């Protein structure tokens, strides 16, 4: 097993303002570990995490790909999360490059067809639309889970852009729950963007049924 990154530098006060790694974090890391050999063979140059929170997932990815083998980019709307992610990178000797931004910011446009691995544990919990809008506007911890109608209002913004970001042969890992209508997500990205997909892990965590979906762009 690949060790979980060291998060001992993060304190309880940090988790008051930044999402603490939980089962959705761990299933995403397990999916990456399951594909570790294939990911290493692909010699990725650019890795991108959307909504990095504590930085645990990107530090984990860098731990088996190698700290100097790729550029590790992380985005989050929460400035506290950016600080925690950067600190997690430093703690684990993985150089994480943080961008405090929303999905609407032009930063992503600079990465067209350039990203080899994308990971996204989105705010997938269904809420009223106003709650999701407020959470994104406030740029706080609520933005890590409030997903609006069907838990998809934030995710849909990124799904409209992900194919353009992926390099040929690039992979995109998405955490989702049944309320998000996973089969519809797969169909949409297949029909609109020719991204093949597979549910690579499924796990029950309390009341949640978590899945990780892997999408791949043709070489």
* 101 Cβ contact list (under 8 Å, min separation 6): 75, 76, 77, 107
pLDDT in tens, 68-109: 999 999 999 999 999 999 999 999 999 999 999 988 677 888
* Nearest to 211, CA basis, from 68, 28, 20: 28
pLDDT in tens, 140-167: 999 999 999 999 999 999 999 999 999 9
Dist. CA 78–CA 124, nearest whole Å = 17
Contact 99, 22 (CB under 8 A): no
pTM: 0.97
Give how far Cα 162 sits from Cα of 19, 37, 173, 186, 192, Å: 23, 23, 11, 13, 11
Domain 17-212: CATH architecture, name and number where available: 3-Layer(aba) Sandwich (3.40)
Which residue stretches of 75-195 are H helix?
79-91, 129-138, 153-159, 162-165, 182-193
Contact 2, 63 (CB under 8 A): yes
Give how far Cα 42 sits from Cα of 68, 79, 98, 115, 116, Å: 15, 32, 24, 12, 8
Dist. CA 172–CA 157, nearest whole Å = 15
Report the chain's mean pLDDT, rounded to a whole number: 96
Contact 80, 51 (CB under 8 A): no
């Amino acid at each position: 097993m690949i060790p979980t990154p060291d998060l001992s530098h993060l304190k309880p006060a940090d988790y008051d303002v930044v999402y603490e790694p939980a089962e959705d974090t761990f299933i995403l890391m397990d999916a990456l570990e399951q594909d570790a050999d294939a990911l290493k063979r692909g010699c990725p140059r650019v890795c991108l995490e959307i909504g990095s929170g504590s930085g645990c997932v990107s530090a984990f990815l860098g731990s088996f790909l190698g700290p100097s083998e790729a550029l590790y980019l992380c985005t989050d709307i929460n400035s506290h999360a950016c600080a925690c992610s950067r600190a997690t990178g430093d703690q684990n000797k993985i150089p994480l490059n943080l961008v405090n931004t929303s999905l609407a910011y032009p930063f992503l446009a600079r990465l067209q067809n350039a990203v080899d691995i994308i990971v996204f544990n989105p705010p997938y919990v269904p809420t009223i639309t106003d709650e999701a809008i407020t959470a994104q506007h406030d740029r706080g911890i609520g933005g890590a889970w409030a997903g609006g109608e069907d838990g998809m209002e934030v995710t849909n913004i990124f799904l409209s852009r992900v194919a353009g970001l992926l390099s040929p042969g690039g992979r995109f890992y998405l955490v989702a729950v049944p309320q998000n209508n996973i089969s519809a997500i797969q169909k949409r990205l297949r029909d609109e963007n020719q991204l093949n997909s597979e549910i690579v892990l499924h796990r029950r965590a309390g009341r949640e049924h978590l899945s990780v979906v892997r999408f791949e762009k043709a070489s």
